Amino acid sequence: MQTLTGLDVCIRDQFSRFAGKSIGIICHQASIARDRKHILDHILPHHKSGELKITACFGPQHGIWGHTQDNMIEWEGYTDSRTGLPFYSLYGEHRKPSPEMLTGVEELIFDVQDVGARYYTFIWTLAHCMEASAELGIPVTILDRPNPIGGEFTEGPGHDKKFKSFVGLYSLPVRHGMTVGEVGRYFRDKYIPQCKVNVVEMEGWSRSMMFSQTGLSWGMPSPNMPTEDTALVYPGQCLVEGTKISEGRGTTRPFEFFGAPYIDSWEFCDAFNALNLPGVYLRPVHFLPTFQKFKGEICGGAFMHVTDQKSFRPVLTTVACLSIIRQLYGEKFEWLAPPYEYEYELLPIDILAGGSGVRELVDQCATVDVIKEFVDETGAELIAETRRYQLYS
């Protein structure tokens, strides 16, 4: 059976569930159907015929068409010349839709491809949209999409609410193992009970499936998420953003490439590979970022090869990498200072990790066993809680 996203189910049903309604649509460049056409191209004919009315469109970080390349680059809204629709930014002056933006909206549709990691800002855009909708009595309908790195595997650490930010407004495991529909149900029950949430469920998707097994086409959710392989390493490798090490932005394979000018590629990779962590191999590389950290400087480091998707532990792997770099290169390794994602006081690594524990372990050059115990123990209770919201077997 082929996998149908929530959007595909709506297309099959001629968007009948929204007939006669004025709707707002939250979407981005990866909001595509099985036929690779964008949600707006599918729904505009129904708007033009008067079957429904699109009142406004909203875009998350990177914009509706993914035009802002780097992270933390704001964009502002405009009237789209092709569709004539107002496009509102939720990653600029506003991250939460204002009442003015939602004027006339009777139902808010969320169709955004997530990548399965707590730090990815799209689920926090969903949370803010749910908050705004709850205040105005507007129902939110989530068109569900696959978790591209599967729904079977989860990984901590957990999340201390003192480290709340736009890369973690509410508590979720780092690798949460949920679809956006499941995340929305969890947010509703746990944090935003006034919001009415509907989920248009997928058909033909099971938790064991990686994105490549769905038969769907990969649309880059953000400019630095070029492939499913990127998404698989991202729950760990995004932690590198909290350091002064390059996470490979400015290369063709961000998050798989990582390093810094002071790293001896072979020395580092030999030390890591000697740990024999499951499902991963680091290959020594040199790379030259074209923007962001170390722009124009040759970096030594590694390319992260996932050799077994099922046994690979992305968070454990990256924290072990950072611990080795700290051990080998001492004070040359540095944590990135704020600001980061609208947080101006707390360290970026701490808001990414949801607490200070990862930073403290790396500074101690902790062993793999100690790191694994921390990741597993701090995430266990939260993982058990979020599993209650699964919609798929």
**Cα distances (Å, whole numbers) of residue 105 to 23, 108, 129, 136, 149:** 5, 7, 12, 10, 33
> Superfamily for 6-216?
Uncharacterised protein PF07075, DUF1343 (3.40.50.12170)
CATH 3.40.50.12170-classified regions of the chain: 6-216
The rounded distance, in Å, linking the Cα atoms of 315 and 331 is 23
The rounded distance, in Å, linking the Cα atoms of 345 and 337 is 9
The burial of 266, by beta-carbon neighbours within 10 Å (0-12 exposed, 13-18 middle, 19 or more buried), is given as exposed
Instruction: Assign a CATH topology to domain 228-379.
Output: Aspartate Aminotransferase, domain 1 (3.90.1150)
Q: Cite the beta strand spans of the chain per DSSP E.
A: 22-27, 53-59, 78-79, 86-89, 107-111, 140-143, 197-200, 257-260, 280-287, 299-306
**Cα distances (Å, whole numbers) of residue 222 to 31, 59, 107, 215, 274:** 11, 12, 26, 20, 34
- Write down the pLDDT at residue 31: 98
- Write down the pLDDT at residue 207: 98
CATH 3.90.1150.140-classified regions of the chain: 228-379
All residue ranges of the chain with pLDDT < 50 are none
* 178 and 151 Cβ atoms separated by less than 8 Å: yes
List CB contacts of 75: < 8 A, sequence separation 6 or more.
59, 62, 63, 67, 68, 89, 91, 92
- Write down the pLDDT at residue 99: 97
Which residue, 91, 174, 70, 125, is CA-closest to 342?
A: 91
- Write down the pLDDT at residue 72: 67
Three-class SS state of 199:
strand
Return the amino acid letter for 196.
Answer: K
Q: ∠ at Cα 71 (145, 182), nearest 5°?
A: 25
CB atoms within 10 A of CB 297: 12
Length of the chain counted residue by residue:
393
